[in-house]
Amino acid sequence: MKKLQDLIDERRQILNADRRFGSPKEDREAEARVTFLTTCINYLNTEPTAELLARELSMIETKIEAIERRLPEYSRGRQGGAEYLKKQWYKQNNMSHLQAQRKTLKFLTEDSTGC
């Protein structure tokens, strides 16, 4: 499991980095990383246990799988291309939020010794 202080240090390092000569793409990536780390830090401030994180990750993955399994049933009899229907189904079920939660929980449950 990631350690709170490690994430705070990484965020501080990115914020303090001199990016005057960086490209706009590098600036956007750094900004996105800081936002992600801030989300992780806020989550770890609630002091979750490793078991809780694993349980939540399992629950989120189960929801995502169920949504993906029901896509053909949703698409049957509806007009529109496959990609359009998939996009509508995912939007209806807030899939982007679930995927972001999964990404965050997977990151937090990774072993921090390898970083």
Domain-wise residue ranges, the chain: 1-47, 51-115
Res. 112: pLDDT tops 70 = no
Condensed to tens digits (0 to 9), the pLDDT of residues 2-51 reads 999 999 999 999 999 877 777 889 889 999 999 999 999 999 999 999 99
Match 């706009």 to its residue by tokens.
24
pLDDT band at 55 (very low <50, low <70, confident <90, very high): very high
Condensed to tens digits (0 to 9), the pLDDT of residues 57-77 reads 999 999 999 999 999 999 998
Gap between the Cα atoms of 21 and 5, Å rounded = 28
What does the DSSP assignment read for 36-86? HHHHHHHHHTT---HHHHHHHHHHHHHHHHHHHHTHHHHHTT--S-HHHHH
Which pLDDT score, from 0 to 100, does residue 85 have?
A: 95
pTM: 0.84
Greater confidence, 86 or 17? 86
Gap between the Cα atoms of 7 and 34, Å rounded = 10
Gap between the Cα atoms of 30 and 21, Å rounded = 13
Which pLDDT score, from 0 to 100, does residue 104 have?
A: 96
Which pLDDT score, from 0 to 100, does residue 111 have?
A: 78
Tally DSSP H helices, then E strands, for the chain. Answer: 6, 0
